[in-house]
Structure 1
Amino acid sequence: MNWSYPTISRNAEQGAMWAAALLGLSIPISTSLDSILAGLIVALLLVGGRYRDRIGAVRDNPIVLPALVFFGMYLVGLLYGEATGYEAMESLAKASDLLLIPILLYLFREAGIRRMALAGFLTAIVSMIVISYLLWLDVIPPIGLFHITNDDAYTPFHHRITHSSLMAFGAYLFAVKARLEPRPAVRCIYALLGIAALANVLFIVSGRTGYVVALALGGYFLIAGLRWRGVAVAAIVVSILGVAVYLMPDSVPHQRLAMMAEEIAEWQPGEPTETSVGYRLEYYQNSLRLIAEHPLLGAGTGGFKRAYASLVKDKGMDPTANPHNEYLMVTIQLGLVGLALLLWLLYTLWRRASDLPGGFERSAARGLVVWLLSASMVSSTLIDHTEGFFFVWMSALCFAGWSAAGGESVRPCRYPSS
Structure 2
Amino acid sequence: MTGVSNELGRASVLSEIWAARYRTPARFVALVALLLPWTTTGVTFALIPWLIAFAFVDLREFPRSLLRPVCLLPIALVILALVGTLWSDAPWPDRLHAVGPALKLLAIPLLIYQFERWPYGNWVFSAFLASCALLMVYSFAVAIDPALSLKLYLSRGPYKVESGIAVRNYIDQSQEFGLCVIALVYPIVTLFRDGRARSAILLAMLLLGFLLNMMFVVVSRTALVTLPILVVVFALLHLRWRTALLAASGMALVAVALWSVSPHLRATVAKFQGDYEMSTQDKKVSGMGSRLEFWRKSLGFIADAPLIGHGTGSIRELFAGVAADEDVDPLRGQIVSNPHNQTLSVAVQWGVAGVLVLYALWFAHLLMFRGEGLACWIGLLVVVQNMLSSLLNTHLFDFAPGWIYVLGVGVAGGMALAKQSKMDVRAS
> TM-score w.r.t. structure 2 length?
0.83
TM-superposed CA distance for 1:97, in Å, is: 0.6
Unaligned runs of 5+ in 1: 2-6, 413-418
Check the 8 A contact 1:300/1:333 in 2, yes or no. yes
Partner Cα distance (1:234, 1:311) in 2: 49
Check the 8 A contact 1:245/1:254 in 2, yes or no. no
Q: Report the equivalent of 1:416.
A: none
Deviations 1:75-94 (A, max 9, x none): 23122121221111112121
Unaligned runs of 5+ in 2: 1-9, 11-15
Deviations 1:212-263 (A, max 9, x none): 2322222222232336557756764675466446645x61111122222122
Check the 8 A contact 1:224/1:230 in 2, yes or no. no
Provide the alpha-carbon RMSD of the alignment: 3.2
Q: Report the equivalent of 1:88.
A: 95
Partner Cα distance (2:236, 2:138) in 1: 32
Q: Report the equivalent of 1:324.
A: 340
Identify the match of residue 346 of structure 1 among 350, 357, 362. 362
How many residues align structurally? 401
Q: Report the equivalent of 2:127.
A: 120
Check the 8 A contact 1:17/1:113 in 2, yes or no. yes
State yes or no: 1:30 paired with 2:39: yes
Deviations 1:163-188 (A, max 9, x none): 00111001111111111222111111
State yes or no: 1:171 paired with 2:181: yes
TM-superposed CA distance for 1:203, in Å, is: 2.5
TM-superposed CA distance for 1:311, in Å, is: 2.3
What SS does the corresponding residue of 1:132 show, helix, strand or coil?
A: helix
Partner Cα distance (2:153, 2:117) in 1: 35
Partner Cα distance (1:246, 1:113) in 2: 40
Within 5 Å, which residues of 2 pair with 1:311-390? 311-314=322-325, 316=329, 317-355=333-371, 358-390=372-404
What SS does the corresponding residue of 2:165 show, helix, strand or coil?
A: coil
Check the 8 A contact 1:29/1:158 in 2, yes or no. yes
Most deviating of 298-307 and 199-208: 199-208
> TM-score w.r.t. structure 1 length?
0.85
Q: Report the equivalent of 2:62.
A: 54
State yes or no: 1:278 paired with 2:289: yes
Within 5 Å, which residues of 2 pair with 1:13-412? 14-46=23-55, 48=56, 51-56=59-64, 58-59=65-66, 62-110=69-117, 112-138=119-145, 141-142=148-149, 149-150=159-160, 153-181=163-191, 182=194, 183-226=196-239, 228=241, 236=249, 240=253, 243-244=256-257, 247-248=260-261, 251-268=263-280, 272-314=283-325, 316=329, 317-355=333-371, 358-401=372-415, 402-403=417-418, 409-410=424-425
TM-superposed CA distance for 1:142, in Å, is: 3.1
Check the 8 A contact 1:403/1:410 in 2, yes or no. no
| More helix, by proportion | 2
Partner Cα distance (2:299, 2:245) in 1: 35
Most deviating of 272-281 and 160-169: 272-281
One-letter amino acid matched to 1:91: A
Decide whether aligned partners of structure 1 residues 76 and 241 sit closer, same or farther in structure 2, where only a CA change above 3 A counts.
farther
What SS does the corresponding residue of 2:280 show, helix, strand or coil?
A: coil
